[in-house]
Amino acid sequence: STCHALLNQLNSFGSEQIRNVATIGGNIIHGSSISSLNPILQACNAKLKLIKHGTNEQCEIALRNFFLRNNNVDKERDEILLSVYIPFTEKYEYLQSYKQSRRRKFDSPIVSCGFQVKLEQIQFQIDGFVPEFKWKIQSVCLSFGGIASSIVMMNKTQDYLKDKPWCKQTMKDALKYLLDELTLNESTPGGQAEYRRTLVASFFFKFYLYVKEQLQKTYPDTVVDEISSNELSAIKTYVRDLSRGEQEFQSKPISNKIVGSSSIHNSAYLHATGEAKYTCDIPTPS
């Protein structure tokens, strides 16, 4: 689940060329408030190991405590990121990530988020009938980017959700806490306050549907709310068909005029055949 949530963000992160040279550590240390990866890394409770330059002095810090206000991080100037520990999910634990940008690639997210919940299966019996099961929230983390000056967790909402049953009514009540906890207003940098509030609510509901679907697949005999087909459509992965285009032009122009005529870009053949050289294609000097 952790790997799937990370891949969900990486697939729309920049381009293949950018992903080949970018690093997870660089994204973390940069501490951007609109990072695509940091919310999901925070949600899964990743841990960092830092080492002080010129010494063997090391320290470990949870990513949930690493991001400070105004794109700052809890790291001294002489400390270097040594390693990142990304834990896998355990039984009854679910993790997912979402983001919304103006484009599907090559764009920073308007809102990005990472959600984690650890459930507990409890048994109850009513009036001597056959025992039934339901789910209780053991722990939860709601991490967001794009709604404040740093990556933030919704602590009040998380506290409310703890020990509550995992059901639609709980999610509706939690949504009120979540929206009250948001500090977005019309003067918020980046604007689109109302749109971002809507995205926060939508992503939270999508996560609820995602977990419900996973529970129904894995534990069909447990007590869960029924999900309508209309609601299930919200968690389907959007697959875009391969785009295509065509252009008509004269292979042998009647005249030598340029205005209004198609002209092939000088490097078009190099780009189309893959022969174009980029800086990342040049070997590093020894």
137 contact partners, CB below 8 Å, separation of at least 6: 117, 118, 119, 120, 161, 162, 163, 164, 165, 166, 170
Instruction: Read off the pTM.
Output: 0.81
Is residue 71 helix, strand or coil? Answer: coil
**134 pLDDT tier (thresholds 50, 70, 90):** confident
Ranges of each domain in the chain: 2-235
Average of pLDDT values for 208-236? 83
Distances in whole angstroms, Cα of residue 154 to Cα of each of 79, 83, 200, 210, 264: 28, 27, 11, 20, 53
Query: What tokens were used for 212?
Result: 């419900």
Query: How much is the pLDDT for 238?
Result: 78
**DSSP characters for 190-222?**
T--HHHHHHHHHHHHHHHHHHHHHHHHHH-TTS
**162 pLDDT tier (thresholds 50, 70, 90):** very high
Alpha-carbon gap, residue 52 to 59, rounded angstroms: 9
Average of pLDDT values for 220-243? 79
Residue range 174-207, pLDDT digits in tens: 999 999 998 887 767 678 889 999 999 999 999 9
Supply the angle between the helices 193-218 and 168-181 in degrees, to the nearest 10.
150
Alpha-carbon gap, residue 286 to 277, rounded angstroms: 19
The single-letter DSSP state of residue 83 is E
Q: C-alpha angle 23/56/87, rounded to 5°?
A: 45
Residue range 7-64, pLDDT digits in tens: 888 888 877 778 888 889 999 999 898 899 999 999 999 999 999 998 989 999 999 9
**124 pLDDT tier (thresholds 50, 70, 90):** low
CATH code assigned to 2-235: 3.30.390.50
